[in-house]
Structure 1
Amino acid sequence: MLHSKYKWQPQAYDANASQQFAEVLSISPLLASLLITRGICTVEEANMFIKGNMDDLHDPFLLHGMKEAVPRILHAIDSEEHILVYGDYDADGVSSTSLMIHLMRHMGASFDIYIPHRSNEGYGLHNHAMDWAHQQGVSLMITVDTGISAVEQVAYANSLGIDVIITDHHEPPEVLPNAYALINPKLSVCSYPYKGLAGVGVAYKLCQALLGNPPMEWTELVAIGTIADLMPLTGENRILVRTGLASMRKSTFQGIQALLEVSGIVKETVTSTNIAFGMAPRINASGRLDHAGRAVSLLTTEDSTEALGLAHELDSLNKQRQKVVEDILQEALAQLALKIQNAGLPSVIVLAGKGWNVGVVGIVASKILERYYRPVLILGIDEETGICKGSARSIPGLDMYAALTSCKHLMDHYGGHPAAAGMSLHIEQLSEFECALNQYAKSILIPEDLIPVVVADGEWKVSDLPISVIEEIELLQPFGMDNPIPRFIIRDIELRESRTMGRDHNHLRLTMQQENSRLEAVAFGQGDLAELLTTGIPLDVIGELSINEWNGSRKLQLMLHDLAVSEPQVYDLRGVKEPDVEMNRFLQLMGPRLRGQSTQIGVLSEENTLRDVRNHLKELSLWVYDKNGGMTSANTVAEQDGKEDITTLFVLDAPQSPRQLDEMMTAYKSLRNIVLLHAMDVREKLQVPDRELFKKLYILLSRIGSKPVSERDVLSQISRQSSTSVRMLSKMMDVFEELSFIERSNGSITLVPKPPKKDLDDSLHFRELGNLAEMEQNLFYTNTMQLTNWMITLLKGAS
């Protein structure tokens, strides 16, 4: 049995509403159900989701502050004032800044841009930047994707005679800046219908307000920033991104063309996924390892040669970024391992290191969150100043912005969203900060919050998912936040074949069958799972469905996210050289799929074997075979918790008797996984006894005569004559003795001349020999499939 790695959460939907959608919109019931699970309640909303276009965007003047901002900007341009566009260094900020550059050029404005350096300056507005702007003669500053928390900095700009228009989408603080205009759909005073705009989306609304109908290609920048900043692809975002993607497929932007080429993306088929995993990381790499201005130059250049050169520079920076991330990740994991060893896994993981590049700590936080499923903060420490700058990533159960707000007195600056945030503080505050965050988290989080959840679009049979329906799902594009690629749960599908693929065998390919429908699945990076799956077992799987085209053939294919095995499993690792090493490797491989406590994992062996491995297995429940045919506890864990809750049993030595085997299969009442690691060096092979074999032995014995002879010599002689092991012959002698065919005395045997007539079945030794021989035949000589079937039968019979 293998638990799923994640908790699967099928989305509920109204079957009647689904049928109505299907009929009115002329779509399949499956697609109708997908619309409903995305919160679409009416046919009108469904039409908007599928067919919405730029004409359906809201009036930009519904945004609070827009009526004040537009005339001020127009006046500045007419009066030839010098304008500063102040942006942020992430992909949303880069896209927003680039969009404003195109706007300023389009309107013939006099302007400069300023983006702070992530490592040297950090997030947000800075007074020294205000001083620089003042020296440049700036009288109007427009922020994009930043500024909503810059109370002091805006006040300072005002004192220098600079009017500030803030466009932002981050969570507003309690005290707002005294700006000339504040444009943020999340302001409590803002009645704008859609609250999910990215920073670049808010900037685009400003463009709309100023121009009416901005050039359609500008939506390409909106698409990049919206997807990269993980904004919901619903409402206006969906319309803007879909329009941007359509424009990008025939883009005239030299920078976007070059970035697509370097990222290996075919321009004509670009998708939101391509942007998220191909373009966005390269744009972000500029701000993480260098300065975001390089990415802005790429997105605003009109020179194809310059664009290609800049795109290659960003690609190189991204490769450097990957190396830096891996180095910091390993240091962070080592630091976390010590914390876990000393005090267990914390509710909020806070890790800080000297020299850690603050431009990539958010990526490191995401990787550690994925591994431990806890909110994570990673901070880089500046040794000279003692300032810690970091990024946080959170799980749905903990609003990170609220968590930071609860201890804001310990930070110099912070901002962000419920799922991600940034902060800076002095190293002297770090310990108290970590403690405060964990105290807050403990008051909020419940155990269910700490189990990762995968949302699924219902449970289906393979027969419900023909290729025509999967093709129809493309109407839901573009996919992203709040509109994920549909995931389907398919239960009770038989595994026909599992194998690894790829140069390093680190990917998995499965072939499965459900009734008359066959389904292939691939799982990247999960090649190790092949060791945990047995052909013929029923699987529950969850993943994304696509159509695999190869040599003119089109087949349904599942991109596997997770799986579960509800049936008991037997793992054949017989004959490994170092059973304790292999056991630890296997435990690591199973990982969270075992669920439960380490005390639910048992180890069974002979006393001598356990003596060699005991120190490596302290947390597990240890058991040894006893002389009476049962099992005895061998450590405190086993004594305290007993056998009944053990779900996984590692067998280091095979049972010596059918009684021990029966005890093993019945005493561990919750047993669902058996891992066999016993040696294969059987003393001497036993045969399943039959009457012909005993008849043959009796004939050979009769040739010896009726005088006492050495049993040892006789058995050795007969073994050579009959190709039967001495051990087998000795046990057959036990049967003869019980039936009074022979007499034993002081190592000698004597054939009884006229023995009583008795049937072999009357002998207890005969029956025990048969059971023992069958047990050893299965434990030592059968192949994996035969062994598995036999043990599963025993296990099911025991339960």
Structure 2
Amino acid sequence: MLYSKYEWRTLSADAEISGQLAKELSVSPLIASLMAARGITSPEDGELFLNGTFDLTHDPFLMLGMNEAVPRIRKALEDKEHILIYGDYDADGVSSTSLMIYLMRHLGASYDIYIPHRSNEGYGLHNHALDWAHQQGVSLVITVDTGISAVEQIAYANELGMDVIVTDHHEPPEQLPDAYALINPKISACPYPFKGLAGVGVAYKLAQALVGTPPQEWLEIVAIGTIADLMPLEGENRILVKNGLLSMRRTRFAGIRALLEVGGVNVDQVTAVNVAFAMAPRINASGRLDHAGRAVTLLTTDHQDEAERLAWELDALNKNRQQVVEQIVQESMDMIQRRWGYDQLPPVIVLAGEGWNVGVVGIVASKILERFYRPVVILGIDPETGNCKGSARSIPGFDIYEALNSCKDVMHHFGGHPAAAGMSLHMDRLAEFEEGLCSFADVVLREEHFIPVYHADLECSIADVPLKVIDELEMLGPFGMSNAVPKMVFRGMEVMEVRKMGKENKHLKLRFHQNGDRLDAVAFGLGHLADVLPEGTKVDVLGELSVNEWNDSRKPQLMIQDMSVPYQQVFDYRGMKEPIIELKRLREILEPHLNYSAARSAVVFAQDSHDAIKSHLYDMSLWVYDRNAGILPMNPVAEKGGCESISVLFVLDVPESPGQLDSLLSSFRSVPNIFLLHPIRSKRDQLQIPTRDQFKKLYVMLAGLGSKPMSENEVITRMNRQSALSQRMLLKVLDVFEELVFIERSQGMITFVTKPDKKPLDASRHFRELSELAEMEQHLLHASTAQLTHWMMARSKGAS
């Protein structure tokens, strides 16, 4: 049984609404069902969703502060004032700054830009930067994607005689800064209808207010920042991003074209997904490991050579960032294991490490959250000052911004969204900080919050998704936050082929069939699951549909997000040379997928075998075969936990008798996964289910030896020459003859009884046990995997 990583929750689509949408909009039933499931309930709404135009965007002057900001900027232009554009170092901040550069060029302004260094300065407006700006003759500061929390800094700018216009989209604090104008749709008093703009979206509205209709290509910059900052792709954002992507497919920006090509993206087919996974990480890498100014230069250069050089530099920085992230993730996992163990985690995980690059701690937090599904805060400690800078990532139902606000007294600074935030504090207050977050979580979080949920759109079959329907899915894009790539659930698909692929075999390639239809699938990062998905396995899969194009051939393909096998499985690893090593490998790679800890995994073995088990597998539930009891617990873990809680059973030795097998199967009847790692005997030692003719021939042969005693070894040698039975089988035959008093055994000698009492073979207990033992061993040692699985399942049902 392969457990899904997430709880799948599938939307429901009203059949009547779906039918109406399909008819009125001329879309396939599947597309209509997807739209209905996502809340589109009328053809009119559907038409707006599919074909909404730029006319549906809102008047920028509806935004609070715009009426003050625009005249002030125009005055600065008229008076030739020097303007500072103050941005942020993430992809939204880079995009916002780049957009403002295009605006300043368009307006002919005198301007400078300033973006703080993430590691050296940290987030937000800084007094030393304002001092520098004042020295440069700046009289107007325009912030983009930052500034809404900069109460003290803006007061300082006012003292220096500089006006500050804030454009931001982050959550406003209780006390707002005394700026010349505050432009943020999330301010409670702001009447602007759409609250989900990115920082670059707010900057674009300012540009719109100043120039009327900005150049179409500026929307490419808006699309990058909006997608990268995970803003909802609905309402106004959907229109801005959709038009930005259309422009990007024929982009005249040298930097955007170079960045797409470095990322391996076909420019004329670029999608929101390409922006999110190819462009955004490279732009972000600039601010994480270097300075974000490099990315701004890339997005604003007119020179192709410079664009190509910078794009490759960002690509190299991104690869370096990936290595740094992997190292910190591993150090974080080790720290978690030492502090709590994986089974006793606190409601909020707070980790801090000296020298951890603060530019990547947000990514690390996301990866730790994905592994343990609870809020995570990762902080880098400056060993010289003791100051910590960190990032938080959260789960649905836990507003991390509010959680930080509950312990704001222990921090120097914090800010962010309900799902992600940043903060700084001194290491001396880390314990107090952690305690405050966990106390807040104890009140807010309930058990159900810690169950990861994956929202799927619909359940369907392979027959429902031909190539033309998958092509039609693009009508629902652009995809991103609040308009995710459609996710489908397919149940009961049978594995036809499975193989590992990619570097170090990290990925999984599958081919399924269902009622005569076939579908190829790929699962990134799940190559190890090839071990538990043999051909013929029936699988439930959640994934995203795509088209695989290769050599002018186009085929449907499923990108797997999660999967499960909803029934008991037997895995065949018989004959492994190093079964304990293989067992430990399987434990390490499969524990998250088979839903078991060490204490919930059992090992059964013969008492006189595998001397290393107790020292290597002491934390597991250990059991041994027993002649009388069948199986017995061997260590305190087994004695305390019993059999009921076991999720995975590893069998290292074949039972010595059918009774032991039945005891094993009845004790572990409900175990979802059984791994067989026992050795396989050679054919020479194979037992056979005895026939009466075999015994009759062997009896006649023994009778021909006469009545004189003969060495047992000699008897077996002669019997072996005249039959195809193994030596082990012949010893069992002699046990039967001895029990029926057809022979006598004494001190290694055998004497044939010339006139024995007539007794049927069935009267011999050894004969009956031999039949059962031979059948058991034929299956356990020599049957195919499918035959063995079927036999064990049937035997388990009959075991008592």
Could you tell me the TM-score, scaled by structure 2's length?
A: 0.96
2:700 matches 1:699:
yes
Q: Give the structure 2 partner of residue 249 of structure 1.
A: 249
> How far has the Cα of 1:342 moved from its partner?
10
Q: Give the structure 1 partner of residue 777 of structure 2.
A: 776
Deviations 1:108-148 (A, max 9, x none): 11211111111111100111112222222222211110001
Q: Matched residues in 2 for 1:457 and 1:355: separation?
A: 43
Tell me which moved more, 305-314 or 193-202.
305-314
Q: Matched residues in 1 for 2:761 and 2:767: separation?
A: 7
Check whether the contact 1:646–1:669 (CA below 8 A) recurs between aligned residues. Answer: no
How do 1:188-227 residues align onto structure 2 when only pairs under 5 Å count?
188-227=188-227
Q: Matched residues in 2 for 1:131 and 1:246: separation?
A: 42
The structure-2 alpha-carbon separation of the partners of 1:713 and 1:216, relative to structure 1 and needing over 3 Å to count, comes to same
> How far has the Cα of 1:598 moved from its partner?
4.0
Q: Which SS does the other structure have where 1:130 is aligned?
A: helix
Q: Give the structure 2 partner of residue 316 of structure 1.
A: 316
How do 1:467-616 residues align onto structure 2 when only pairs under 5 Å count?
467-595=467-595, 598-609=598-609, 611-616=611-616
> How far has the Cα of 1:280 moved from its partner?
1.3
Q: Give the structure 2 partner of residue 636 of structure 1.
A: 636
Q: Give the structure 2 partner of residue 27 of structure 1.
A: 27
* Counterpart code for 1:693: Q
Q: Matched residues in 2 for 1:311 and 1:537: separation?
A: 45
> How far has the Cα of 1:646 moved from its partner?
2.4
Check whether the contact 2:521–2:557 (CA below 8 A) recurs between aligned residues. Answer: yes
The structure-2 alpha-carbon separation of the partners of 1:795 and 1:513, relative to structure 1 and needing over 3 Å to count, comes to farther
2:778 matches 1:764:
no
> How far has the Cα of 1:602 moved from its partner?
1.5
* Counterpart code for 1:496: M
2:135 matches 1:144:
no
Q: Matched residues in 2 for 1:399 and 1:342: separation?
A: 24
2:405 matches 1:405:
yes
Deviations 1:525-559 (A, max 9, x none): 21111101122121111111122234454332111
Deviations 1:445-494 (A, max 9, x none): 22222222221112112222222221111101111111111111111111
> How far has the Cα of 1:405 moved from its partner?
0.7
Tell me which moved more, 391-400 or 311-320.
311-320
Q: Matched residues in 2 for 1:274 and 1:624: separation?
A: 55
Q: Give the structure 2 partner of residue 362 of structure 1.
A: 362
Q: Matched residues in 1 for 2:366 and 2:342: separation?
A: 24
* Counterpart code for 1:316: A
Q: Give the structure 2 partner of residue 277 of structure 1.
A: 277
The structure-2 alpha-carbon separation of the partners of 1:521 and 1:796, relative to structure 1 and needing over 3 Å to count, comes to farther
> How far has the Cα of 1:776 moved from its partner?
1.3
Q: Which SS does the other structure have where 2:542 is aligned?
A: strand
Q: Matched residues in 2 for 1:745 and 1:382: separation?
A: 83
**Coordinate RMSD, CA, aligned:** 2.0
> How far has the Cα of 1:740 moved from its partner?
4.2
* Counterpart code for 1:716: T
Q: Matched residues in 2 for 1:641 and 1:334: separation?
A: 27
Deviations 1:335-362 (A, max 9, x none): 2222124993232222222222211221
* Counterpart code for 1:237: N
How do 1:647-686 residues align onto structure 2 when only pairs under 5 Å count?
647-681=647-681, 684-686=685-687
The structure-2 alpha-carbon separation of the partners of 1:19 and 1:520, relative to structure 1 and needing over 3 Å to count, comes to same
Check whether the contact 1:629–1:659 (CA below 8 A) recurs between aligned residues. Answer: no
Q: Give the structure 2 partner of residue 337 of structure 1.
A: 337
Q: Give the structure 2 partner of residue 731 of structure 1.
A: 732
* Counterpart code for 1:531: D
Q: Give the structure 2 partner of residue 296 of structure 1.
A: 296
Deviations 1:509-539 (A, max 9, x none): 1121111211221112211111011221211
> How far has the Cα of 1:502 moved from its partner?
2.8
Structure 1: gaps of 5 or more residues: none
* Counterpart code for 1:725: S
Structure 2: gaps of 5 or more residues: none
Check whether the contact 2:14–2:37 (CA below 8 A) recurs between aligned residues. Answer: no
Q: Which SS does the other structure have where 1:575 is aligned?
A: coil
Q: Matched residues in 2 for 1:529 and 1:329: separation?
A: 22
The structure-2 alpha-carbon separation of the partners of 1:9 and 1:793, relative to structure 1 and needing over 3 Å to count, comes to same
* Counterpart code for 1:30: L
The structure-2 alpha-carbon separation of the partners of 1:321 and 1:748, relative to structure 1 and needing over 3 Å to count, comes to closer
The structure-2 alpha-carbon separation of the partners of 1:595 and 1:675, relative to structure 1 and needing over 3 Å to count, comes to same
Check whether the contact 1:629–1:657 (CA below 8 A) recurs between aligned residues. Answer: no
How do 1:91-102 residues align onto structure 2 when only pairs under 5 Å count?
91-102=91-102
> How far has the Cα of 1:597 moved from its partner?
5.1
Q: Which SS does the other structure have where 1:609 is aligned?
A: coil
2:751 matches 1:711:
no
The structure-2 alpha-carbon separation of the partners of 1:190 and 1:44, relative to structure 1 and needing over 3 Å to count, comes to farther
* Counterpart code for 1:66: M
Q: Matched residues in 2 for 1:499 and 1:70: separation?
A: 61
Q: Matched residues in 2 for 1:304 and 1:512: separation?
A: 46
Tell me which moved more, 403-412 or 644-653.
644-653
> How far has the Cα of 1:712 moved from its partner?
4.0
How do 1:257-268 residues align onto structure 2 when only pairs under 5 Å count?
257-268=257-268
How do 1:63-102 residues align onto structure 2 when only pairs under 5 Å count?
63-102=63-102
Q: Which SS does the other structure have where 1:99 is aligned?
A: helix
* Counterpart code for 1:434: E
> How far has the Cα of 1:81 moved from its partner?
1.8
The structure-2 alpha-carbon separation of the partners of 1:462 and 1:20, relative to structure 1 and needing over 3 Å to count, comes to same
* Counterpart code for 1:784: T
Q: Which SS does the other structure have where 1:625 is aligned?
A: strand
* Counterpart code for 1:706: S
> How far has the Cα of 1:596 moved from its partner?
5.1
> How far has the Cα of 1:762 moved from its partner?
4.2
The structure-2 alpha-carbon separation of the partners of 1:502 and 1:314, relative to structure 1 and needing over 3 Å to count, comes to closer
Q: Matched residues in 2 for 1:162 and 1:233: separation?
A: 36
Q: Which SS does the other structure have where 1:663 is aligned?
A: helix
| Aligned-pair identity (%) | 61
Deviations 1:381-419 (A, max 9, x none): 122222111111112232111111111101000101111
Check whether the contact 1:140–1:163 (CA below 8 A) recurs between aligned residues. Answer: yes
2:6 matches 1:6:
yes
> How far has the Cα of 1:653 moved from its partner?
1.4
Q: Matched residues in 2 for 1:489 and 1:11: separation?
A: 11
Q: Matched residues in 1 for 2:188 and 2:356: separation?
A: 37
Q: Give the structure 2 partner of residue 47 of structure 1.
A: 47
> How far has the Cα of 1:720 moved from its partner?
3.6
Aligned residues: 799
Q: Matched residues in 2 for 1:278 and 1:547: separation?
A: 18
Q: Matched residues in 2 for 1:52 and 1:93: separation?
A: 27
Tell me which moved more, 636-645 or 391-400.
636-645
Check whether the contact 2:457–2:486 (CA below 8 A) recurs between aligned residues. Answer: yes
Could you tell me the TM-score, scaled by structure 1's length?
A: 0.96
* Counterpart code for 2:501: M
